[in-house]
């Protein structure tokens, strides 16, 4: 019986909301240089096949709040895999280490990690948004 339980444990796929660290999945992206419609060089994300399986699915992400007062305050912010002083916007990490969050919850800045749950959107084309957007997000802790 113990052997059967062990086998089932290893072959049962993980629910995306139960993954230990979704940041490892988000890191499965590369970038290609292309010219935009005006002839300017730009980088577009190329998401792995595995990462694409999460498009439009509910996920949980644990990270640090990076406030964006200029785009809406507490309901719109970035969630970073790294603390504020090491985040992407400080030049210490890549774009795959932050997620744009859209929520109706009031989420205040804190130096402690929080966990958000929402629908992950992989943004390949809209330069006005980040490459990852967590929509309809809810604060879990």
Q: What is the pLDDT of residue 73?
A: 55
Contact 26, 99 (CB under 8 A): yes
Q: What is the pLDDT of residue 16?
A: 43
Q: Provide the 10 A C-beta neighbour count for residue 33.
A: 8
Q: Tell me how far apart the alpha carbons of residues 14 and 57 are, in angstroms, rounded to a whole number.
A: 13
Q: What is the pLDDT of residue 67?
A: 80
Q: Does domain 15-139 have CATH number 3.50.50?
A: no
Per-residue pLDDT in tens (0 to 9) along the chain, 141 residues: 443 333 333 333 444 444 468 999 999 999 999 888 888 888 899 999 999 999 999 999 999 998 876 544 556 888 999 886 666 666 667 788 899 999 998 888 888 999 999 999 999 988 889 999 999 999 998
Q: Provide the 10 A C-beta neighbour count for residue 86.
A: 14
Domain ranges across the chain: 15-139
pTM of the entire predicted model: 0.78
């Amino acid at each position: 019986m113990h052997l059967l339980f062990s086998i089932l444990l290893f072959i049962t796929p993980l629910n995306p909301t139960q993954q230990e660290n979704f940041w490892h999945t988000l890191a499965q992206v590369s970038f290609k240089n292309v010219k935009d419609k005006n002839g300017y060089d730009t980088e577009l994300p190329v998401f792995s096949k595995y990462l694409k399986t999460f498009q439009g699915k509910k996920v949980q992400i644990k990270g640090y709040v990076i406030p964006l007062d200029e785009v809406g305050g507490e309901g719109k912010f970035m969630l970073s895999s790294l603390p504020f002083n090491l985040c992407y916007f400080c030049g210490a990490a890549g774009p795959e280490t932050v997620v744009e969050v859209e929520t109706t919850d009031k989420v205040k800045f804190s130096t402690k990690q929080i966990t958000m749950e929402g629908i992950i959107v992989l943004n390949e084309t809209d330069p006005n948004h980040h490459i990852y957007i967590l929509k309809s997000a809810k604060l879990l802790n």
